[in-house]
Amino acid sequence: MPDYIPNTLEEQRAMLKEIGVDAAEDLFACIPESVRLKKRLLLAGEGMAEGELLKHMRGLSLKNRNLDECICFLGAGAYDHHIPAIVEHIVSRQEFYTSYTPYQPEMSQGMLQAIFEYQTMVCELTGMDAANASMYDGATALAEAAVMACRATGRREAVIPRTLSPENARVLNTYARFGGITVNEAGYDDGKINLEDIERKITQETAAVIMQNPNFFGIIEDVSRIGEMAHRKGALLIVSVDPISLGLLKPPGEAGADIAVGEGQSLGSPLCFGGPCLGFFAASGALVRRMPGRIVGQTTDRSGKRAFVLTLQAREQHIRREKATSNICTNQALNALAASVYLAVMGKEGLRKAAELCFQKAHYAHKRLIESGKFAEVFKAPFFKEFVLKSGEPVAELNRRLLKEGIIGGYDLGGSYAELENGWLVAVTEKRTKDEIDKFVRLAGEFR
Amino acid sequence: MNMQDVSDNNLHNDENNPETKEIRRNDDKLIYEISRPGRRAFSLPECDVPQCSIEEALPHECLRRDGPCLPEVSEVDAVRHFIGLSRRNYGVDSGFYPLGSCTMKYNPKVNENAARMDGFSKVHPYQPQETVQGCLELMYEMERMLAEITGMDRMSLQPAAGAHGETTGLMMVKAYHEWRGESGRNIIIVPDSAHGTNPASAAAAGFDVVEVRSDSRGCVDIGALRELANERVAALMLTNPNTLGLFEENIVEIADIVHRAGGLLYYDGANANAIVGISRPGDMGFDIVHLNLHKTFGTPHGGGGPGSGPVGVKKELAPFLPSPLVEFREGMYCLDYDRPLSIGKVKSFYGNFGVIVKAYSYIKTLGAEGLRRVAESAVLNANYVMTKLKNCYELPYDRSCMHEFVLSGQTQKKNGVSTLDIAKRLMDYGFHPPTVYFPLIVKEAIMIEPTETESKETLDEFIEAMVRIANEAETGPETVRNAPHSTAVARPDEVKAAREPVLRWRPVQYSVKSAKCSDNLR
């Protein structure tokens, strides 16, 4: 079976001879007998030839329903947006995907420049001054932003609204528990942050107010108002944003955010059962040297030519060790590259158009579902591409019915929000056609 | 030896011909610099639903005034731009990449094909569980294969990278001690040769860090460890083989010392390529392990990521693993969130699934015997190169190495040639340099990890280049000091980059804003 080892036994023998030992086993003499593996690994099996492997993998993959066979109205943090064909072609270039972190700039100008362009695009999208080279995903970017805010303010508390996505909140809570950060939760009103409640919860101890826009319910929050509340108490404002929405919505930087983060999967990465995704991370100029992760900077080489390097490395684990701003090393560079290609292809006009299509189609679906008489509006506040309705039948049953017809229905909110029993979070991207939405509405409204 | 044939990439300087230079397309422009107003590459359908007015539906103050400044290019502009960038980059498929501690082995193509199958890549993480049985089965099986390979009882596939696995593992260490009522254990011991992520991860999980020194043989100093092992120790983090490429021969005793003091043993799997199929951390006494699927299990590094850093534990720690875990109940695979002692989630969803698919496919291809051959061949290749180079370069720890070894450039330093110079000179010979200046306990360190997927000829060529550079350092040190001579850019000014950070491109017309912002950046 293939093991990708080029050397023949004869060559290996010649090498052993040069080393001065008889057998490869002799090189392992330093491993005490008592900790050697004496039995055979059973689960790894006998190995497979390429054809056998592909058959096996295809078999497994066919046990899943893929989104090309279905019509997807599910979002809740991971979205079925169109990926331009060129993205895959670029990220499949071996010079990119088989390279390491660009430690040696002379041999890595391509990736370094691509990341520099990515940082520029993230700054433009978010209206922030500087962006890093990527984080693992939107949720860890948000959690690291909280840690950074605590260091920057010398405070140990964070305020989050219940309109933050459950994935974001759960990851933040884990980081907070072990990082010694207290998290206080503010409620919501008509699907938006309850302003009185959050204002009460922001105190002189608050390091950061952490919000999501559009929020988990798809609703557009009043970012500026909350930013003012945070800043009045000396807290930072962290906003997690949907990058597609930024074709249309005011960037967090203009609404007072000190740190903007988000999930960049929508920017050219396939859903892939939830990973690899892309955490983007941007901050105001004053906070640049506190940012986690790799950052690419422009400089000149010895002949004065423009060149790119990893920079501000004094923040990082390999220099600063336990005093680093974060322990992140490997990030999601290839997904950041995909995002650069995506944003280059879309351009200013394309991103706006994608955002408008999402908006129009979501609003059409919303209107039609309510007109069916089987769904009730839960919140009146304006939304972007996702909305909440109350279903007349349990969401699990509704989704099961839809699945039989090849439709993946919305997210069941009842699991994370007890007060939203039968709450159905529906996402509509630019990929959905009128026919698909009409079919979805017809079937969804068919019960009883 | 000739310089590597570089016809398919543009790493090397092709500006030597003055006649063609002037009109040759400048392919190092930024995408913003090739942007032309009105050009477009996107392809979106016309809106086919009745439209409502966005201005009426959304409050004016939440709308953006100007669109984001993104490039305006045609599709062919974009393709040529990014292909141009790729030609200024170097991957494992381009050639030898002996970065120590990074395990830059060949990334088999079939794994890429597997991960791109629609049934894996076009699946939403919240789809009903009955529609993702294939994903869950793969994760279930992967967890068990990795647990067997490491000698652990359960694993979580959630961490996205090695350092993320470290934080996750150390959070479990903390949760475990707290649960046992020993929350006073707030110290993590790391060797002075440890990866930088180890102390940084310990800090991220809320621990204090104490270093234990290495002895003259390059291993953990047992006496020093004994003095440090007390009731405040939560865990010892160890890479085995360590970052010098040496197996910690006293591992059983080390485990015993830490366990007797009530601490746990954490295995940093960065160097697992040396022992896969040969020896298991679980049998050495480790309680927690992380693996780097992007090192040991052949998944590509992606220019810096995505990776995957599964973390495994012994039974006693299993309740603390992140949620959810995949279980098999009543004939169905399912995600189990009902785990009250779990540290919670460390990442959205279930991990870098696409990377996990590639590593699964790698293990299935190699099988048990193949994995063992990987370790044997990786160790053989490293020892071969070490044997051939130790006469020209100082070898501070002169004994059999595992999958990598560390030279010192101190001999060359006497002629004013630093390790950095040697690294840069290797580029002129067409090789990616090794890891340099790490581990910190070796002066002028040159850390070489050839991996098992390199042929004897490639190793011989590399050895020849290293020998020549050692000679050059004697006979013509200037050549080495001024290297690289052949790359498109050479020795970018890193000090300037850090002192006057330029972290993004700015359009010329925004110069006022630009001035303001760069002030902030300083």
Averaged pLDDT, B263-291: 98
Name residue, tokens 């731009």: B81
Here the CATH number for the domain that contains residue A411 is 3.90.1150.10
Amino acid identity of A137? D
* Boundary (domain end) residue, out of A315, A342, A369: A342
Tell me: do A298 and A355 sit in the same domain.
no
Residue at A42 is within a domain: no
Name residue, tokens 């800043």: A231
**A279: nearest Cα among A333, A214, A358, A207:** A333
Contact A284 B348 (CB under 8 A): no
Tell me: do A336 and A408 sit in the same domain.
no
In DSSP terms, A279 is beta-bridged to: A135, A263
* Boundary (domain end) residue, out of A342, A365, A380: A342
- pLDDT band at residue A73, thresholds of 50, 70 and 90? very high
Tell me: do A202 and A263 sit in the same domain.
yes
Name B78's Cβ contacts closer than 8 Å, sequence gap at least 6.
A86, A341, A344, A345, B31, B41, B71
| Residues of chain A positioned with their CB less than 8 A from the CB of B79 | 86, 89-90
Nearest chain A alpha carbon to B505? A120
By the 8 A CB rule, do A383 and A219 touch? yes
pLDDT reported for residue B242: 96
Contact A250 B9 (CB under 8 A): no
pLDDT reported for residue B520: 34
User: How many angstroms away from the CA of B371 is the closest CA of chain A?
Assistant: 8
Q: What is the mean pLDDT of chain A?
A: 96
Crossing angle for the helix pair B75-86 and A109-126, to the nearest 10 degrees: 130
Tell me: do A231 and A378 sit in the same domain.
no
**Backbone phi, psi, residue A72, to 5°:** -105, 125
Number of domains in chain A: 2
**Backbone phi, psi, residue B462, to 5°:** -65, -45
Tell me: do A432 and A314 sit in the same domain.
no
User: How many angstroms away from the CA of A121 is the closest CA of chain B?
Assistant: 6
Tell me: do A293 and A388 sit in the same domain.
no
Cα separation of A182 and A185, whole Å?
Answer: 10
pLDDT reported for residue B250: 96
Tell me: do A236 and A101 sit in the same domain.
yes
| Residues of chain A positioned with their CB less than 8 A from the CB of B46 | none
| Residues of chain B positioned with their CB less than 8 A from the CB of A50 | 110, 365
Cα separation of B264 and B266, whole Å?
Answer: 7
Name B22's Cβ contacts closer than 8 Å, sequence gap at least 6.
none
The token pair that represents B89 in the structure block: 């980059």
Which domains occur in chain B, in start order? Answer: 28-86 (no CATH), 111-365 (3.40.640.10), 372-494 (3.90.1150.10), 495-522 (no CATH)
List own/partner pairs for A299-304 with CB under 8 A and 24 or more apart. A299/B492, A299/B493, A299/B494, A299/B496, A299/B497, A299/B502, A300/B492, A300/B493, A300/B496, A301/B489, A301/B490, A301/B491, A301/B492, A301/B493, A302/B490, A302/B491, A302/B493, A303/B490
Name A418's Cβ contacts closer than 8 Å, sequence gap at least 6.
none
Residue at A50 is within a domain: no
The token pair that represents A370 in the structure block: 């309510």
Q: What is the mean pLDDT of chain B?
A: 93
Tell me: do A103 and A238 sit in the same domain.
yes
Name B469's Cβ contacts closer than 8 Å, sequence gap at least 6.
B422, B425, B426, B429, B480
| Residues of chain B positioned with their CB less than 8 A from the CB of A222 | 62
Does pLDDT of A109 surpass 70?
Answer: yes
Name B486's Cβ contacts closer than 8 Å, sequence gap at least 6.
B3, B12, B13, B427, B428
| Its pTM surpasses 0.90 | yes
Residue at A386 is within a domain: yes
Residue at A193 is within a domain: yes
pLDDT reported for residue A319: 81
In DSSP terms, A206 is beta-bridged to: A157
Name B39's Cβ contacts closer than 8 Å, sequence gap at least 6.
A347, B72, B73, B74, B77
**Backbone phi, psi, residue A392, to 5°:** -75, -25
Tell me: do A290 and A253 sit in the same domain.
yes
pLDDT reported for residue B236: 98
Q: How many helices (H) and strands (E) does chain B have?
A: 18, 12
Here the CATH number for the domain that contains residue A127 is 3.40.640.10
Tell me: do A308 and A353 sit in the same domain.
no
pLDDT reported for residue B26: 57
Paired sense of beta strands B233-238 and B187-191, if any = parallel
Query: A44-48, B5-9, B27-31, B245-249: lowest mean pLDDT where?
Result: B5-9
- pLDDT band at residue A325, thresholds of 50, 70 and 90? confident
Per residue in A270-291, pLDDT (tens digit) is: 999 999 999 999 999 999 999 9
Residue at A230 is within a domain: yes
DSSP string for A208-246: EEEEEES-TTSBPP-HHHHHHHHHHTT-EEEEEE-GGGG
The token pair that represents A17 in the structure block: 């001879």
Cα separation of A99 and A91, whole Å?
Answer: 11
State yes or no: cis peptide before B484, omega within 30 of 0: yes
* Boundary (domain end) residue, out of A342, A377, A394: A342
Does pLDDT of B163 surpass 90?
Answer: yes
Q: How many CB atoms lie within 10 A of CB B221?
A: 18
Tell me: do A217 and A359 sit in the same domain.
no
> Half-sphere exposure of A154 toward its Cβ, with a 13 Å CA cutoff?
1
Nearest chain B alpha carbon to A402? B128
pLDDT reported for residue B17: 60
Cα separation of B7 and A115, whole Å?
Answer: 25
Cα separation of B245 and B100, whole Å?
Answer: 9
Averaged pLDDT, A167-174: 98
Contact B494 A299 (CB under 8 A): yes
| Residues of chain B positioned with their CB less than 8 A from the CB of A296 | 503
Rg (CA), chain A: 25
Residue at A128 is within a domain: yes
Percent of chain B with pLDDT over 90: 90
pLDDT reported for residue B21: 57
Alpha helices in B151-221 (DSSP H): 162-179, 197-204
Nearest chain B alpha carbon to A167? B348
pLDDT reported for residue B463: 98
**A383: nearest Cα among A426, A424, A413, A433:** A426
Rg (CA), chain B: 26
Region of residue A137 (left: phi > 0; alpha: psi -120 to 50; beta: else): beta
Contacts across the A-B interface (CB distance below 8 Å)? 712
Does pLDDT of A322 surpass 90?
Answer: no
pLDDT reported for residue B19: 59
The token pair that represents B211 in the structure block: 């270093």
The token pair that represents A149 in the structure block: 């805010």
- pLDDT band at residue A160, thresholds of 50, 70 and 90? very high
Cα separation of A311 and A295, whole Å?
Answer: 6
Does pLDDT of A394 surpass 90?
Answer: yes
By the 8 A CB rule, do A45 and B364 touch? yes
Query: A70-84, A318-332, A353-367: lowest mean pLDDT where?
Result: A318-332
Q: Which residue has the higher pLDDT, B517 or A429?
A: A429
Nearest chain A alpha carbon to B485? A106
**A314: nearest Cα among B191, B442, B499:** B499
Per residue in B96-109, pLDDT (tens digit) is: 999 999 999 999 99
In DSSP terms, B329 is beta-bridged to: B332
pLDDT reported for residue A447: 72
Residue at A39 is within a domain: no
Averaged pLDDT, B476-487: 96
Alpha helices in A48-84 (DSSP H): 50-61
Cα separation of B79 and B22, whole Å?
Answer: 23
Cα separation of A432 and B44, whole Å?
Answer: 12
Tell me: do A168 and A272 sit in the same domain.
yes
In DSSP terms, B426 is beta-bridged to: none
Does pLDDT of B519 surpass 80?
Answer: no
Averaged pLDDT, A355-369: 98
In DSSP terms, A260 is beta-bridged to: A239, A282
For B233, the enclosing helix (H) or strand (E) is: strand B233-238
Cα B310 to chain centroid distance, Å, stands at: 13
Nearest chain B alpha carbon to A384? B58
Q: Which residues span the domain enclosing A354? A: 71-82+349-444
| Residues of chain A positioned with their CB less than 8 A from the CB of B39 | 347
Residue at A56 is within a domain: no
